[in-house]
């Protein structure tokens, strides 16, 4: 694992998988943007509800998830075979396959292919792979203009922004912001544009239509590549993809190597899982599938660029490779409470949210303890919501813990231990011995000196000050009322109590002699006589309603309940003491 986590030496700074600062630092700023928080909270809430409805319609959703997981696992186990098959089939149908080890190779291949056509501009379908390699910037360096045609990607491009979501890249923008952006950046836009979604879409459509008809080259990604027939699949909602994939003369597709599926039967499962998980639709409006080149129909030249960029390294780890099962539906982003508050930019990578937190560090590798991507596995409260919605059942919380473990392992190798390492070592030393643990509990009672008035601690020294900056901490507990079962020394008052218990076992409890000694523990925890008035006394219940049963309750379940026949007679002679002083609660 460590080797895979430390990763292959990817070109430093290349690609869009690493931010320029750590998650906590970026998140702190993002949290201060109330507009962002409002936009994200609203948008993720809407998609969450849509997804829940769409998924709830299917009785066999869990079986589909299991099938998706099984297909992905089997595919990854023989990924090399499937890729070679894909290459052979694409080539046999008139396409050309290129293999790109990293970002630089991929960009060089695509740029070279575009330059060979003589084109200086191209249209693009929304694609995470081309975002990952930063293709637009590389093309711009070569004097080629790339036009994003997906509405959200267009918004991102016009605003010189970075995607903050896998599926809805402009989720951090609202209608008013988009209107302002269009008025400012879109050439020839109607100045009376309103923020009505339909009007905004029409403006984008008019703007894009001219570009579609002009462009001779298109670049796309791929949601799936079917190995058995060399077919590529793009799943989309707006129809811009269909335009890009059919109108231009040359089509270049950049696909991560993990996107291959062996057969059409496998595709059937994913075409059910993906739309419901991502947009909450039963079926997405446009599913385009093409195999190589068809004379007289669509592009005359087709190139497939297969991108590794760290995927082989991730595949090297038997558990970490689960992250490669991702079909980029972004359901985990929409349910993630961390993502909902910080937004995607805080993650630095173009793969944000829970899946980004496991995928990005694995793809880039972690090059030092201070690597910004090393902070990503910690950007989760491990609440598990992502695992529950993942259509291919990627156990993201476990992967996060695994990446944390690998990071800690690397940190241990440092000559100077971190403060956290010292804390954890001390905790391990204390907690591996019952005696030391008991002693530590005693010492912790010193903490009771603080916060006496309020019963809470409102300020603690670093690093716990991060807790008390916004939350009170509980005061350490006082002396225990009884010894724990986990190996402490025998209770001090034992001899007398033991004698009483032994006698009661022999003779049964004495009437009027106070509570049954067997109840001692119960009584000491809550200083009241059981006498039939504790909750425990009524249980197991025999009558139906609470009101009907309560006055009749007169038996202590610890010593006198039916079934514990060894310890005898009911203890019900004592009159109910209604005016007994109430003792203080812990």
Partner 1 sequence: MPARRSGWSATTSRCSPTPTSSSPRPARTRVRCATSYATLARDAGDDALARRAEAVSARTYELSELLVDVLGVEDVGAYYPHRVTYHPTCHSLRVLRVGDRPLRLLRQVAWMTLLELPEAETCCGFGGTFAVKNAPTSTAMLADKMRHVLGTGAEVATAGDASCLMHIGGGLTRLRAATRTVHLAEILASTQAGGGRAGVR
Map the footprint of partner 1 across residues 504-543, applying CB under 8 A: 526, 528, 533-541
Contact between 207 and 189 (Cβ < 8 Å): yes
**Given candidates 211, 287, 380, 567, which one binds partner 1 under the rule CB under 8 A?**
380
Q: How far is the CB of 561 from partner 1 (least distance, A)?
A: 12
**Residue 213 or 426 having the CB closest to partner 1:** 426
Among candidate residues 289, 242, 223, 287, the one with its CA nearest the CA of residue 90: 289
Residues 350-379 interacting with partner 1 (rule: CB under 8 A) = 377-379
Question: What is the size of the binding site for partner 1 (CB under 8 A)?
Answer: 76
Residue 550 touching partner 1 (CB under 8 A): yes
**Residue 264 or 539 having the CB closest to partner 1:** 539
**Residue 181 or 558 having the CB closest to partner 1:** 558
Residues 182-241 interacting with partner 1 (rule: CB under 8 A) = none
Residues 429-448 interacting with partner 1 (rule: CB under 8 A) = 431-434, 437
Residue 398 touching partner 1 (CB under 8 A): yes
Residue 549 touching partner 1 (CB under 8 A): yes
Among candidate residues 164, 166, 137, 174, the one with its CA nearest the CA of residue 19: 164
Binding range to partner 1, per CB under 8 A, among 217-225, 236-244, 427-435, 560-568: 427-435
Q: How far is the CB of 554 from partner 1 (least distance, A)?
A: 12
Antiparallel, parallel or unpaired: β 224-226 and 301-307: unpaired
Rounded to whole angstroms, how far apart are CA atoms 522 and 168?
Answer: 57
**Given candidates 474, 480, 489, 495, which one binds partner 1 under the rule CB under 8 A?**
474
Residues 72-101 interacting with partner 1 (rule: CB under 8 A) = none
Binding range to partner 1, per CB under 8 A, among 136-144, 255-263, 286-294, 469-477: 469-477
7 backbone dihedrals φ, ψ, rounded to 5°: 80, 170
**Residue 285 or 487 having the CB closest to partner 1:** 487
Helix or strand holding residue 72 (H, E): helix 61-77
**Residue 139 or 335 having the CB closest to partner 1:** 335
**Given candidates 182, 212, 224, 387, which one binds partner 1 under the rule CB under 8 A?**
387
Contact between 159 and 172 (Cβ < 8 Å): no
3-state secondary structure of 93: coil
Copy the structure tokens of residue 379: 């950007």
> If 0-12 CB within 10 Å is exposed, 13-18 middle and 19+ buried, where does residue 472 land?
middle
Q: How far is the CB of 468 from partner 1 (least distance, A)?
A: 8
**Given candidates 11, 143, 197, 463, which one binds partner 1 under the rule CB under 8 A?**
463
**Given candidates 210, 471, 481, 498, which one binds partner 1 under the rule CB under 8 A?**
471
**Given candidates 9, 11, 56, 455, which one binds partner 1 under the rule CB under 8 A?**
455
Residue 546 touching partner 1 (CB under 8 A): yes
**Residue 41 or 285 having the CB closest to partner 1:** 41
* Distances in whole angstroms, Cα of residue 240 to Cα of each of 69, 213, 286, 556: 30, 12, 9, 73
Among candidate residues 271, 353, 255, the one with its CA nearest the CA of residue 68: 271
Q: How far is the CB of 172 from partner 1 (least distance, A)?
A: 15
Binding range to partner 1, per CB under 8 A, among 54-62, 68-76, 110-118, 424-432: 424-432
Residue 338 touching partner 1 (CB under 8 A): yes
Q: How far is the CB of 331 from partner 1 (least distance, A)?
A: 15
Q: How far is the CB of 394 from partner 1 (least distance, A)?
A: 14
Look-up: residue for tokens 């990854």?
76
HEC letters along 252-319: EEEEEHHHEECCHHHHHHHHHHHHHHHCCCCCCCEEEEEECCECCECCCEEEEEEECCCHHHHHCCCC
Copy the structure tokens of residue 528: 């009241």
Concatenate the DSSP letters of all residues of 523-541 into one string: HHHS-S--TTTSGGGG-S-
For the window 127-166, what string marks contact with partner 1 as x by the rule CB under 8 A? ----------------------------------------
Concatenate the DSSP letters of all residues of 22-45 into one string: -HHHHHHHHHT-HHHHHHHHHHHH
**Given candidates 77, 422, 464, 513, which one binds partner 1 under the rule CB under 8 A?**
464
Dihedral sign of CA atoms 341, 347, 349, 351 in order: negative
Residue 385 touching partner 1 (CB under 8 A): yes
3-state secondary structure of 403: helix
**Residue 296 or 581 having the CB closest to partner 1:** 581
Among candidate residues 569, 567, 570, the one with its CA nearest the CA of residue 553: 570
Q: Which residues are within 8 A (CB) of 443 and not within 5 positions of it... i.e. 6 or more apart? A: none
Residues 28-67 interacting with partner 1 (rule: CB under 8 A) = 28, 31, 37
**Residue 193 or 382 having the CB closest to partner 1:** 382
* Distances in whole angstroms, Cα of residue 559 to Cα of each of 436, 519, 533: 35, 6, 14
Binding range to partner 1, per CB under 8 A, among 173-181, 195-203, 249-257, 485-493: 485-493
**Given candidates 92, 427, 493, 513, which one binds partner 1 under the rule CB under 8 A?**
427
Q: Which residues are within 8 A (CB) of 266 and not within 5 positions of it... i.e. 6 or more apart? A: 71, 75, 226
**Given candidates 49, 408, 494, 513, which one binds partner 1 under the rule CB under 8 A?**
408
């Amino acid at each position: 694992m460590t080797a895979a986590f430390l990763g292959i030496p990817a070109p430093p700074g290349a690609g869009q998988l690493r931010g320029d600062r750590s998650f906590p630092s970026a998140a702190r700023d993002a949290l201060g943007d109330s507009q962002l928080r409002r936009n994200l909270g609203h948008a993720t809430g809407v998609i969450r509800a849509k997804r829940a409805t769409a998924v709830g319609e299917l009785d066999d959703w869990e079986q589909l998830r299991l099938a998706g997981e099984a297909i992905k696992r089997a595919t990854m186990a023989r990924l090399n075979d499937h890729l070679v098959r894909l290459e052979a089939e694409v080539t046999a149908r008139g396409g050309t396959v290129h293999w790109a080890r990293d970002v630089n190779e991929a960009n060089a291949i695509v740029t070279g292919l575009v330059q060979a056509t003589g084109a200086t501009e191209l249209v693009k379908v929304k694609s995470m792979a081309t975002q990952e390699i930063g293709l637009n910037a590389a093309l711009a360096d070569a004097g080629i203009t790339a036009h994003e045609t997906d509405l959200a990607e267009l918004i991102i491009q016009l605003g010189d922004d970075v995607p903050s979501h896998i599926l809805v890249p402009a989720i951090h923008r609202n209608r008013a912001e988009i209107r302002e952006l269009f008025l400012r950046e879109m050439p020839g836009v109607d100045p009376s544009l309103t923020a009505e979604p339909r009007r905004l879409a029409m403006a984008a459509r008019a703007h894009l239509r001219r570009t579609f008809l002009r462009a001779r080259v298109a670049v796309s990604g791929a949601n799936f590549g079917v190995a058995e027939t060399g077919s590529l699949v793009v799943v989309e909602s707006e129809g811009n993809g269909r335009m890009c994939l059919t109108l231009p003369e040359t089509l270049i597709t950049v696909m991560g190597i993990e996107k291959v599926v062996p057969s059409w039967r496998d595709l059937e499962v994913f075409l059910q899982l993906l739309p419901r998980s991502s947009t909450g639709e039963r079926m997405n409006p446009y599913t385009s599938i093409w195999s190589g080149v068809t004379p007289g129909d669509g592009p005359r030249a087709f190139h497939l660029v297969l991108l590794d960029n760290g995927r082989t390294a991730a595949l090297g780890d038997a558990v970490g490779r689960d992250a490669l099962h991702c079909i980029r539906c972004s359901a985990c982003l929409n349910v993630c409470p961390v993502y909902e508050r910080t937004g995607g930019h805080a993650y630095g990578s173009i793969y944000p949210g829970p899946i980004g937190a496991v995928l990005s560090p694995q793809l880039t590798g972690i090059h030092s303890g201070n690597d910004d991507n090393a902070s990503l596995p910690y950007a989760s409260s491990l609440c598990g919501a992502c695992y529950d919605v993942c259509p291919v059942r990627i156990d993201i919380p476990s992967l996060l813990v695994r990446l944390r473990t690998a990071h800690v392992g690397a940190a241990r190798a440092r000559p100077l231990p971190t403060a956290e390492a010292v804390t954890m070592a001390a905790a391990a030393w204390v907690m591996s011995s019952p005696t030391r643990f008991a002693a530590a509990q005693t010492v912790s009672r010193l903490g009771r000196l603080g916060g006496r008035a309020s019963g809470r601690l409102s300020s603690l020294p670093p690093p716990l000050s991060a807790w008390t900056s916004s939350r009170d901490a509980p005061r350490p507990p006082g002396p225990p009322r009884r010894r724990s079962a986990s190996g402490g020394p025998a209770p001090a008052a034992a001899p007398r109590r033991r004698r009483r218990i032994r006698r009661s076992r022999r003779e049964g409890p004495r009437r009027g002699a106070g509570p049954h000694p067997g109840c001692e523990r119960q009584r000491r925890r809550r200083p009241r006589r059981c006498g039939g008035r504790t909750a425990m006394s009524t249980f197991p219940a025999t009558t139906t309603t609470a009101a009907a049963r309560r006055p009749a309750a007169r038996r202590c379940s610890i010593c006198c309940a039916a079934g514990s026949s060894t310890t005898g007679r009911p203890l019900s002679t004592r009159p109910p003491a209604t005016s007994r002083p109430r003792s203080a609660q812990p």
